[in-house]
Amino acid sequence: MAAVRSNWLEAFALAVKVCTDRYPEDFGAIDNWQAYEAKVEALRSQRDELFRRIAKECSGSDLDVKDAGQGMAIISFAMTQGEVSLHPMSDTGERLVNWMMSRR
């Protein structure tokens, strides 16, 4: 997956797509494909907004700051014991949620 710059969620989505193509009767029918796609897009937008909010709305008590020397610091989410860093901010929320999902 790393070679094609993919993640587990994309691999899962591909597996679902393959299964629905091979066994459509097991997944039911969609009567209104446009309405379904609109709902999926709305859910994606909502998910992306929640990812952004995680990055913007975390507070000091959510974070763990370790001295990296030379006046530098390593900032991570406290609940991850240093496994999920705050930076880069562009995908902070997604990385934290992926970390949480992998430990369910």
The confidence score (pLDDT) of residue 4 equals 58
Residues of the chain with pLDDT under 70: 1-6
Domain membership flag for residue 23: no
Q: Give the range of the structural domain holding residue 47, as residue numbers without chain letter.
A: 31-101
| Number of structural domains found in the chain | 1
Domain membership flag for residue 17: no
Domain membership flag for residue 15: no
Measured CA to CA, the distance from residue 17 to residue 37 in angstroms comes to 14
Domain membership flag for residue 4: no
Non-local CB neighbours of 38 within 8 Å, separated by 6+ positions = none
Domain membership flag for residue 26: no
Domain membership flag for residue 66: yes
Domain membership flag for residue 74: yes
Domain membership flag for residue 8: no
Overall pTM surpassing 0.85 (yes/no): no
Which whole-number Å values give the CA distances from 20 to 12, 31, 37, in the listed order?
12, 15, 16
The confidence score (pLDDT) of residue 1 equals 52
